[in-house]
Amino acid sequence: MSADQPTSGHVPGQLAEEPVTMPAAPPATSDKVAVPEPVPAIATLEPPPRLVVGVPDNPRTGEPRRPLVVALATALCWLAVAATGFSVLWVYWDAVSRFAQASWLMGQFQTAPGSLERVLLAVAVTVIALVIGTANAIVGYYAWTGYRWTRIAGLISAALTFGVLVLNQAGWLAIPFALVGAGLLWLPPAGAFFAAWRARRHPEQVFAPPTVGVEYGPLPRFRKS
């Protein structure tokens, strides 16, 4: 063999190929395929039960639907306010020309024109009318907005409305208005309406039912047998 011949299969200028190693065959296993264990469902809390009140919501306002008896009671209370206001204005008008006949209260005292007694009587008539009108206005407004305490307040305002008897006959119409309006607030539809608003304003705290069967620690599929 001459010195010019290469001693191996390596060709000058060509990179030597690295030997290729074949991966080892996996060990022989049985024909059975391992079936993964079923994953248990995640335990979740059930939503608390919703308080259901027997008054449906108005789809237009999203508030409890107002029954007719509450609307009538509100209207009657405000009519009592209007009758009281008309009565006291009539007293003022009559007091200009005939003071003693302007109201029952003014006729109980002998007064001279321009005296302090007449001023105080006019103030007393005004205060009486304001108390009656304010009481009925409060009951009408808060009954409309669904407050249950207006039942008691309606009885009080109806009793105060009898104060128009010391004014004149024009205001006597306020008495039946206030009495009927207070009575309507005690009917069952009004009670259900007030209960619905109370549940809306003061929701009761409702606890979810207890959750049982909760497992702590690693899930079964992660535990070593």
| 162-194 tens-digit pLDDT | 999 999 998 999 999 999 999 999 999 999 999
Q: What secondary structure, in 3-state letters, does the chain show?
A: CCCCCCCCCCCCCCCCCCCCCCCCCCCCCCCCCCCCCCCCCCCCCCCCCCCCCCCCECCCCCCECCCHHHHHHHHHHHHHHHHHHHHHHHHHHHHHHCCCCCCCCHHHCCCCCCCHHHHHHHHHHHHHHHHHHHHHHHHHHHHHCCCCCHHHHHHHHHHHHHHHHHCCHHHCCHHHHHHHHHHHCCCHHHHHHHHHHHHHHCCCCCCCCCCCCCCCCCCHHHCCC
Does the pTM surpass 0.85? The reply is: no
| 110-143 tens-digit pLDDT | 888 888 999 999 999 999 999 999 999 999 999 9
Q: What is the mean pLDDT of residues 38-60?
A: 61
